[in-house]
Structure formats: C-alpha cells, structure tokens
Structure 1
C-alpha cells in the first residue's frame, strides 16, 4: 500500500490537518516556526493564532476527536450513520461504506430537494467473503471513518493492528455500534473493555459538532424528539393494542427450517434497530418464547399457536425488491395458500405488512415509526395505505420541515 512515507521532513498535508486535529498539527507548525526564528526570522513569525475554530466531539469507544476543519468525505457502515449524516446535510460527502446495499434510500424520495449519492456509486470496502479491503480504504482516502471499528473487527476480519493502521494512515474512526445488543465475541478496541450504548438522539449532536452543524442538529432534534414523544403519548391502552409477530421478510418453512420470529423489544433500551416497536410499546404475540435469544423459529402450527393479530415482515423494505423479486409478496402467498397458515388471525384479516430496515437514523426512523403506528393502531393514527406517499392530512410529521432542515433552509 502506498502513501505511508514518513522518513522525510515536510509540511503537514490537508489530510493530516483533518485527521490529527489542531493540537498535533499545531505542534508541528510551531516546531517549524521555531526553526525559522533560530535562522533569523522576525519574532512575529513565531506567533500562533488563538481564534481558529476547531471541531471536537467524543464518541465511545474511540474517545475524543478534534479536527481543524469538518470532514469533506466520509466512509460509513451499513446505513445508520449515512442516514444521520444525510439528516445533517452531509450526504454528498459519502464515498464508501462497509456495504452500501443496506442503506435504504427510498424515504428520501418523499422529501423535497433531498439528494443522496446512488448506492452503486459508493465503494464497498468489505468483500463477499466478509473481509476488509484495506486497499479500497487507502484509495478512497476519506477524511473520516464514520463507523465503529469493532463490528468491522468482529465481523469483517479486520485485526486490531489494521484498525490502528487505518486510524493512523487513512482517517480517524468515529462511530458506536448500538443497533442491537452486542453479541458474544464482540471486540472492544481501542478501550479494551465494554463501552456504553448510545441512543439515536445522542448521535446527532456528536456528529453535528464534528461537522460544524450544531444549529442544524438542534433543529433536527427539535423536530424529531417531540414527534416521538407525541407518538408515544397516543399509544392505546394495552387492552386495545393488537398483538404483533415480527417475522423475517425472506425466510419461511419452504426455503428454510421455519418462520423466523424476532423479539421486537430490545433488551438494551438505547438500541435503535427496532426502536419504533419499543416506542409504540407493542404487545408481542411471542413474548416468553425466545428463551433468552433475539429470535425463535416456528413452523406453521407454531405460528397459529401464538396467533398474532398483525404480522410485520422485518427488513421488508429491503425485501420488496430483492435481486429482482418481491419477497414480501411471496411471504404473503406462502401464508395465504397454506391450510394452517391461512388460519392465523393476521392472515385472515390481511394484516400483513412491510416492515422497516434496522439501519435507521433519524430520517428513516421517523418514516418507519409513522408506518408502524398506522399498521398497528389505525384507529388512533389512521390506516396504513401501503408503502408510498401518504396524504398530507394523514402524515404524523412535517415532511417539509424535515426537508428544510436537511437542505439548510431552516
């Protein structure tokens, strides 16, 4: 890999300015000025500016990061930080992701003027064999690795020495993986011990500070948090809530060994992968069936035994068009055409719905919370018309206000 020569004395590059922050680069500049002073330069040349702005934020596990200017390019993970940074007006800085295919972009079509890079234009720095391609990262040369390094270490074969190499030679890491409870075998680089989870709302000011977008971050929270609180306050009493089965949108007894049913109630309160179901305080039809796991497999008879009122297909947005096939429609047909599956209450009442992606930042989460609220509690929130644009009178949050914030028109 090229670009790592450190044997010659030279001025700091822009990459080092962004990567290392004011303290380190400032020290380098001072050393240079001192040398010039010793060789006869005027005393004024040794003075250092004290009013230059820096951009500082702290994110466990990587700690505090200070930059001399906002990152102009960044690499993300599987869609979460991409959505957060899109909300902060930084979508055009995306150059690569761990896997761009998992960044769901359909909701941006409902926001006037909001543009994001096409997924096929973003480089993927992981391989189909679940390895990390360091050469891709060096070629991309981003200003920021907007991702927690630990899932890349634990899942995509990056070792800790390589994580340090990326930090030193490519860009600093800045992310915290809190989609779900961290699995056994999770790594804790660079702190060496478990680090806290972060809620979705806690991410926004951290990235806003690093990108110099505090005003936009505040405006986003001022829209997002009251919306979530309003939805929470309107959830019907438990006796009036329909029971939910959160079912994998791809697998069934015909192509795997059963229906995969997910626990919609995250064990860790701050996780954001299934946040909408926690905020909607769902009644889980399979409560008590998971034996400490995050999911359970059942056959048709098992599904009928628990008999959910509503079935929502997890990852449904992704599986509506997956490798040229609508897998959600296929799931519906498998249930409707089976003598036992067709007896399930949700099937009989046609309460079979597309579910969201777990890789949801604030934009995606607002749309998916609205979607699930209408699917589960239509008497309170209005009926769900199917995926697509919802008439303005039936919307639960202000699309134009959100678009204005993203576009910097607030």
Structure 2
C-alpha cells in the first residue's frame, strides 16, 4: 500500500461521527470531524437561515503540542494532530484569511484561483504575493469539481463549506461524504452573501449561522495554531473599521451611488449590469465595504423582483434617468491588476470608454464630474477589506477621508490604516 493510500485509509478509520465523538488520533494534519446532533445525510431545502452572526470567539494561544480542535458550522468540531500543512480552498476569501495568519503558502489548490486578487499585498512591506497562476484550479470554468485533481493534491484540509459542492458544483451528498472520508475534512462556512432559501444544509439538514470576518480569523487561527496572529489582526481590523465608519457623513450629505459591473456594457453585452451595493445581511463579506460606509443606492426601488445574475439591466437612457452622483464598477480591481477573470481583460476600460464617448453617457453627472471609480473584489477577507474600505471611503467622501488617487497611490499621511502593522502580523512580528 502506498503512503497516500495509507493516509487515506487512516483518515477513514479515525474519523468517527457518533454524537460528535472523535475516537482516535492520527495523521499530521486533521484527524476527525463531526457536527453534534446529527449524522451525514441527504441535503434538503430549508427556510432562509437566521441573519444574525455568531459572537466572535476569543482566540486563545495554544503553544503546547498535541491534538487541538476547532469548530465551524456546518462542519462542526474538527480535531487536528497538528496544523494542516496543505489546504484546498474556494475563491479568494479564505486565501486572504490565511494570508493574514501567515499561512498562505499552505494553499495547494483553489476552486477558482483567478478570483484571488493579489494587488493589495504588493502594498505591504516585506509581504510576498502568491502567484495565483501557479495554483491549480480544482473547479472547472463550467463549475465541475476536478475530483481526480483533489485526490492528487491530497490536502490535509478542505477549507470551504461542503454545501458549495452540492449547491454550486452539483455533487451528490454521498459524493461529498466520500471526499471528506477519502481526502480531508471540510472546514468552511458560506458567508459571502445571503444564501438562497433552498441552500443545502449538509450534513445534518439544520440551518446554520453566518460568520463575520473576525469570526473566520479566530476559527482559522485555531486550526493553524495562529491564535496570536488572529487576535492581533482582529484588533487591528475592528479598530480600523470602527474608526472609519464613525466618520461617515450624515446620510443627507452622501452622494447617490450606482454599482455597475466593470465588464458589462452595451457594446459587449447589450446592457449595463447594475447590482445592489447594500448587502442583504450586514455580516456577509462580499459587499462589506458598501454596507459599512452607508452607501446611498441610487437605484433603490427600481430593482425587479425576479432578477438574474444582475439585479438590474439597463441602457444609457436608464442610467441617465436615475443619474447617480457616483458610478463604481464592481470587480474592477481585477482588471487593474491584470487578472483576466472574466475572459476579457480590456472590458473594464471599454465600459469606461463607452460611457465617456456616448452622447447620452456624456450627460451623466458622474461622467461630467469625473466620478467613475474602480470597485473592489467580492472575494475579500480582512486584508483586502481594509484596503477596499479605505478605497471606497476616499471615493465617496473625499472631504472627510482625503481624495482617491488610484491603486497604490495613497501617500502614507493619507492612509486610513497602518500598512506596516498589517505586514508585521502577516510576517509574524506581532
């Protein structure tokens, strides 16, 4: 029997799911996982889960060797002989969390590595960027799980919500269970945005909580025994966000904002794609900065009840009818960073060009006042969200936070958080 076969066999033998009890210890990485109160089973649609977030668990330092446990819904408690050495995760969110914990090098595969924007790390002194082009994609562009690749990578941890494999990648619950038994346990929670009412709740069928960015830091900090880093980053993150949001102008003094897709315009798709900037749940992270900064949605009340990928599709006349004070282009940082995640690296510039040259587009207030801004990526953990909150604050409220000068162009005296402190935490100088 090969080493890989022995490793997988040991996983199957040591993971027990009887009432949440792990009965044996083995392996260098994870050794068990369970969710109290239920056994693995078929997923079933459930009502929309509660929108409230769980309380941030207090990170505790655990320097002593030996097994340690961490808990996250829906996976439950997972016990580790020692921190995982290799990880497969989803898009950029967990990547950013692991970057904050100094563990980004453990990532050996990602569902869609191209969606992990790297440009902000280049602004942190002494912090190395990951070359996402060298990280294998474990999910195809047609959203099919590359199962053979998962087995080949043989990670110690699958740092993602297992229900993504069912809801997004169309795997059967039995297949997800086999992946957990044969490869590695799951440790993740889908809190990017509000889950659909039919979201599967595997393994026990019970609705589960959402987590905010600090909760993820604390829980992954326990997995990797990086509690001190987690605690330091949580403190910096929460203090910074609290300071920025406390300075947001009164609602009557804020501009109206339209959040457009950076890559969709009448020339290449036949319409502008408009998205709601305010998250349905405050705790979720995809649109975190827009909700935190109290964005006034110019299109509020104009969204159809049954929308598809975009909350609203409109043309030049539709934009002019609403005429937002500011236009922000979602995911534009990816284009500015040279990451061709939507199949057309030039689509964002094309969107700007058509707005600035079309006879109707030129009449827009945002165009005339030069208030067209790149928007952030939705795959944001603590580091990316710090940068993107600062970015949006300057774009919307320059009188309070100083002007937006461009990516990487903010002088130290105008920065809203300490880059060096972030870098110190990432590199372990805490």
- State the TM-score, normalized to the length of structure 2: 0.84
**Residue 148 of structure 2 aligns with which residue?**
135
Separation (CA, whole Å) in 2 of partners of 1:83 and 1:244: 27
**Residue 3 of structure 1 aligns with which residue?**
5
Separation (CA, whole Å) in 2 of partners of 1:19 and 1:210: 9
**Residue 423 of structure 2 aligns with which residue?**
403
Q: What is the aligned-residue RMSD (CA, Å)?
A: 2.5
Q: Give the CA deviation at 1:324.
A: 6.7
Q: Alignment length, in residue pairs?
A: 382
Separation (CA, whole Å) in 2 of partners of 1:351 and 1:116: 30
C-alpha distance 390-193 of structure 1, shift in aligned 2 (>3 A):
same
**Residue 347 of structure 1 aligns with which residue?**
367
Pair member with larger Rg: 1
Alignment partner for residue 67 of structure 2, among 54, 71, 83? 54
Separation (CA, whole Å) in 1 of partners of 2:68 and 2:9: 26
Alignment partner for residue 345 of structure 2, among 325, 328, 337? 325
Q: Give the CA deviation at 1:162.
A: 1.5
Structure 1 stretches of at least 4 aligned residues deviating more than 4 Å after TM superposition: 4-7, 10-15
Alignment partner for residue 171 of structure 1, among 172, 180, 184? 184
SS in 1 for 2:127: coil
Q: Give the CA deviation at 1:246.
A: 0.5
Indicate the structure with greater helix content: 1
For structure 1, which runs of at least 5 residues remain unmatched after alignment? Answer: 24-50
Contact 1:263 1:295 in 2 (8 A): yes
Q: Deviations over 1:242-295 (max 9, x none)?
A: 111000000112222311111111111211100001110011111111244571
Q: Give the CA deviation at 1:20.
A: 1.6
Separation (CA, whole Å) in 2 of partners of 1:159 and 1:196: 23
Separation (CA, whole Å) in 2 of partners of 1:65 and 1:91: 20
For structure 2, which runs of at least 5 residues remain unmatched after alignment? Answer: 16-23, 35-63
Contact 2:261 2:272 in 1 (8 A): yes
Structure 1 window deviating more from structure 2 (153-162 vs 263-272): it is: 153-162
Separation (CA, whole Å) in 1 of partners of 2:207 and 2:105: 33
C-alpha distance 286-22 of structure 1, shift in aligned 2 (>3 A):
closer
C-alpha distance 300-148 of structure 1, shift in aligned 2 (>3 A):
same
Q: Deviations over 1:68-123 (max 9, x none)?
A: 10011101101100000110000111100001111101100011121243112111
Contact 2:33 2:78 in 1 (8 A): no
Alignment partner for residue 16 of structure 1, among 24, 27, 31? 27
Contact 2:25 2:81 in 1 (8 A): no
Equivalent runs, 1:228-267 vs 2, <5 Å: 228-267=241-280
SS in 1 for 2:29: helix
Q: Deviations over 1:219-238 (max 9, x none)?
A: 00111001000111000011
Q: Deviations over 1:194-237 (max 9, x none)?
A: 21111111111000011101111110011100100011100001
Contact 2:27 2:81 in 1 (8 A): no
- State the TM-score, normalized to the length of structure 1: 0.88
Separation (CA, whole Å) in 2 of partners of 1:290 and 1:181: 17
Separation (CA, whole Å) in 2 of partners of 1:151 and 1:21: 20
Separation (CA, whole Å) in 1 of partners of 2:366 and 2:65: 61
Contact 2:72 2:219 in 1 (8 A): yes
Alignment partner for residue 303 of structure 1, among 319, 326, 333? 319
Contact 2:277 2:287 in 1 (8 A): yes
